[in-house]
A = this chain, B = another copy of it.
């Protein structure tokens, strides 16, 4: 008889694992996936662009439908909400259209993802306050926008917050972005965050920082009409939450499974949460190891979810594959600004016990004399003793952000600033200066550190 893999959650991590294992094992593995929603394998990161109008239909954001997965032999149950895990019995109870159903498993993968953080303040349950995590969330925002609101307040200035701010501005809304930190995008160091604030304001986003939301006011119909903050009340027609997400792990915790950093599931490098009882976890509900700090962190991103899912799938298929950890690489675009980061910021480096040096340089995205040259700023953080690159951040215009991958591979390979400075990167006037901006930053760091002693 075939073994049965039961997957809770049908997005990136769950379906990557399911597809990988099924493809490898075929009939020797039965795969059942429980998914609350009608969709599988979709791009939550694409929702802001759907709202902005860049993407015309919900279907465009779906990489593989339940039907397509079923055609590959995966038993996808949409509309099935797992409500209880019984580890001793090896089964999961789910609420389905037909009532309650029980699913036995040999291996269980928990891929329950994340959910938007909702501010714990009075009025937060008013109508017209939207998170942006699922396609259903995106559809609700689009429905709200169809009512032609004029004012929107984005609460939270993380990646989703700034991307939704762009979407709203481009749709012609008066857009206020409220963030509790001194600058938008708290994963970017403050002096670069200041560039982001200035750039966003120039692009008509009313950035208000540091401002703390203390409540929401609703009208008689229970619909939000104002955001109350420690810097006054902001009237609005709708509110979008962009203050990040938290791991959805109540189900796992309820079964007695461990939780770790920020409530996420502490899996090992192979994706095992409870090896003895054949429980795996992957995606936005798990914690990861940060390769630079060596610490466990919670970095819920689609890139990791896909790789973690692949890892679990390969391991279920009898391989021995490790998820190698994360650098905290991330990037985004806000109207005309490109923003990217990897590794540790200056404060993070200090918190992780490094004595670091930081340099910031201004450069251009192409040779300075080219008409397409745009400004960009690169910050590098390096360890004073080992001279290793610990982190990098980029804020600039078109053509700036993709260079974060160069920095990410420098971190991945524990390169020193000396080595990075001398690498053979691509050069042609439409793309770069003869010293790429990343290398200009590395040179500045070498200069700051002095040449190593002989």
Contact = CB atoms under 8 A, between A and B. Distances in A.
Interface of A: 12, 43, 45-46, 49, 54-55, 60-61, 159, 163, 291, 301-304, 306-307, 314, 319-321, 323-333, 338, 340, 342, 367, 369-371, 399, 401-406, 408-410, 412-413, 415, 419, 422-432, 434-436, 438, 451, 454
B324 A419 contact: yes
Given A12-B434, A291-B424, A328-B424, 15 more contacts: A49-B369, A49-B429, A54-B370, A303-B434, A307-B422, A319-B454, A324-B423, A329-B424, A330-B428, A332-B428, A402-B431, A403-B405, A405-B425, A409-B415, A413-B413
28 contacts: A12-B434, A43-B434, A45-B429, A46-B367, A60-B369, A291-B424, A303-B425, A304-B424, A319-B454, A320-B454, A321-B451, A323-B422, A324-B423, A329-B424, A329-B426, A330-B428, A333-B428, A342-B426, A402-B402, A402-B403, A405-B406, A406-B406, A408-B426, A409-B409, A409-B415, A409-B425, A412-B424, A413-B413
3 nearest CB pairs, A to B = A409-B409, A413-B413, A331-B426
Contact of A422 (B55, B324, B419): B324
Given A55-B370, A423-B412, A424-B326, A431 B331 contact: yes
A427 B303 contact: yes
A61 B370 CA distance: 10
Nearest to A365: B402
B369 A431 contact: no
A413 B410 CA distance: 9
Contacts of A329: 424-427
A337 to B, nearest CB: 11
Contacts of A333: 428, 430-431
Contact of A55 (B304, B369, B419): B369
A413 B369 CA distance: 32
B429 A43 contact: yes
A329 B314 CA distance: 34
Contacts of A412: 413, 423-424
Contacts of A431: 331, 333, 338, 401-402
B423 A409 contact: yes
Contacts of A419: 324
